[in-house]
Structure 1
Amino acid sequence: MPELPEMENYRKLLSQHIINVPITGVTVNREKTINLAADEFAKTLLGARVVFVERRAKHILFHLHDGRRLLLHLMLGGLLFYGTEEERPERTTQVELAFGDHILYFMGLRLGYLHLLSVKESEAAMGKLGPELLDRRMNAERFAGLLKGRRGSLKSLLVNQHVMAGIGNCYADEIAFDAGLLPTALVQNLPPEAVTRLYGSICKVLTEATQIGGYMEMPFMTGDTVTGTYNDHCKVYDREGEPCLRGGGTIVKTELSGRKVFYCPDCQHAE
């Protein structure tokens, strides 16, 4: 599932290409992906302009010129591609938005969605999300406050969107590795030094992953050589049985609360 770095990468690319360009065509191939009747959805969007693209956690909000917003959550397997009809990806699309001779293709949205909402509705949808960890107002002290009184495993905490927004399976494991902490480490037992180290690893991993395009499986558009390049930089995620890049250990895969977990038992510890 796309996480903060993937969605932030998409946000940057979308902002470069669709701002203030009128929507000239709307195609809905799967009505369950949207929250209105297809005819109403298309009629409302035709002629609309996106004036701002915002990322919140794992979501993207397209702010329209009339105040309404399109809320996108790609969920598991969702992808975006921006190109001409000739560049159409060889995949089934659920929704297509045309911006002149270029089309924004929404693919893999079997679980994901693209909803047209009012400001009030979009704010309600985002209201239960935790804070953004890369926000300039966040710091080590405030991060420690988020953990205060929390119990349970580190992995479960990192992926809890009500506590902190944007981290999923991949980056939770990468962050734990960078911090030298086991994903199973109990949050309530972490000393202050480990909490500070964890916050530093969160900022480092999420920033680096965003800069190199996250781990998406296909480019955003023809000629895009950035999107997805973090896939080759993962230290533990999906590397079961491979040697640890930090020492002589071997990456292990296990399961925690129904989620797969990757870690190095030699160099990651409980605190």
Structure 2
Amino acid sequence: MPELPEMENYKILLNELISNRPITSIVINREKSINIPIPSFLEQMQNTSIIRIERRAKHLLIHLSNQKILLLHLMLGGWMFYGTEEEKPKRTIQVRLSFGEKNLYFIGLRLGYLHLLTIEECKERLKELGPEPFDPHFTEEAFTNTITTRKGALKLKLVDQHFISGIGNCYSDEICYGAQILPTRKIEDLNEGEVKKLYHSMQKTLAAATNIGGYMEHPLYVGDKKTGSYNDLCKVYDREGEVCQRCNNKIILIKISSKKCFYCPGCQF
């Protein structure tokens, strides 16, 4: 599932590609991917343009010229492609937004969605999300104050969107690896030094992944060399059986409450 770095990368690239561009046509191939009947969706989207694109947690907020927002969550398996009809992947397209000769294709939206909302409806939908890791107010002190009020397995809290927004399975494991802390540890058992290491690992890991385009498998457009660049740099995620770069022990995979969890038993404590 795309996480904060992947969605931030999409936000940056799409602002360059479609910001201030009028939408010339729309095709909805799967009504369940949107939140209102197709005729109403098309009517409200008529003669609109993209003003800007923002990110909140794992969502993209596509601001429209009619003061409404397209709220996108790709969920598991969702991705996008921008290009001509000839360039598009040979995949089932759930939604297509056209900008003249080029189109933004939404692919794999079986669990994901593209909902048309008012500004207030969007605020209501996102109000329970936790703080953003890159928010200037989310300092080491704020993180410490937040985490010391929680209990339970570290892995499960890191992926809890009410605790911190934007982190999922991949980066929770990478963050724990960077801090040399077992993801199975109980939050209430972490000492002050470990909490500090966890915060700085979170900042470093997410920033590094964002700067090189995250781990998405598919490029956003033909010639996109950035999207997915982090995939080969993961230290533990999806590396079961491989040798740890830090201590030469083998990475193992377990499940915590049905969530996959990768870590090194040799240098995470």
CA distance in 2, matches of 1:213, 1:92: 24
CA distance in 1, matches of 2:261, 2:234: 13
In the other structure, the counterpart of 1:195 is 195
Q: What per-residue deviation string (whole Å, max 9, x for no partner) do you get for residues 47-66 of structure 1? A: 21111101000000001112
CA distance in 1, matches of 2:66, 2:135: 27
Alignment of structure 1 residues 79-118 onto 2, 5 Å: 79-118=79-118
Residue 236 (1) aligns with residue 236 (2) = yes
TM-score of the aligned structures, taking structure 2 as reference length: 0.99
CA distance in 2, matches of 1:149, 1:228: 35
In the other structure, the counterpart of 1:159 is 159
Residue 17 (1) aligns with residue 20 (2) = no
CA distance in 2, matches of 1:248, 1:57: 34
Q: Which amino acid aligns with 1:83?
A: G
Q: What per-residue deviation string (whole Å, max 9, x for no partner) do you get for residues 111-164 of structure 1? A: 000000011110001000000011122210001011122111110110000010
CA distance in 2, matches of 1:146, 1:104: 39
Q: Which amino acid aligns with 1:257?
A: S
Alignment of structure 1 residues 102-251 onto 2, 5 Å: 102-251=102-251
CA distance in 1, matches of 2:265, 2:180: 10
In the other structure, the counterpart of 1:253 is 253
Instruction: Give the CA deviation at 1:209.
Output: 0.3
SS at 1:214's partner residue?
coil
Instruction: Give the CA deviation at 1:46.
Output: 2.5
- Percentage of pairs with the same residue: 53
SS at 1:71's partner residue?
strand
Q: Which amino acid aligns with 2:265?
A: P
In the other structure, the counterpart of 2:6 is 6
SS at 2:105's partner residue?
strand
CA distance in 1, matches of 2:133, 2:187: 17
Deviates more, 1:12-21 or 1:40-49: 40-49
SS at 1:198's partner residue?
helix
Please list every run of 5 or more consecutive structure 1 residues that lacks an aligned counterpart in the other structure: none
Residue 34 (1) aligns with residue 34 (2) = yes
CA distance in 1, matches of 2:173, 2:149: 22
CA distance in 2, matches of 1:167, 1:60: 15
SS at 1:265's partner residue?
coil
SS at 1:216's partner residue?
coil
Instruction: Give the CA deviation at 1:5.
Output: 0.3
Residue 57 (1) aligns with residue 64 (2) = no
CA distance in 1, matches of 2:213, 2:231: 9
CA distance in 2, matches of 1:220, 1:154: 33
CA distance in 2, matches of 1:145, 1:160: 16
In the other structure, the counterpart of 2:72 is 72
Residue 264 (1) aligns with residue 239 (2) = no
Instruction: Give the CA deviation at 1:40.
Output: 1.6
CA distance in 2, matches of 1:49, 1:146: 40
RMSD over aligned Cα atoms: 0.7
Structure 1 runs of 4+ with >3 Å offset: none
Instruction: Give the CA deviation at 1:178.
Output: 0.4
CA distance in 1, matches of 2:94, 2:81: 12
CA distance in 2, matches of 1:17, 1:100: 12
CA distance in 1, matches of 2:146, 2:134: 14
CA distance in 2, matches of 1:218, 1:7: 13
Q: Which amino acid aligns with 1:101?
A: E
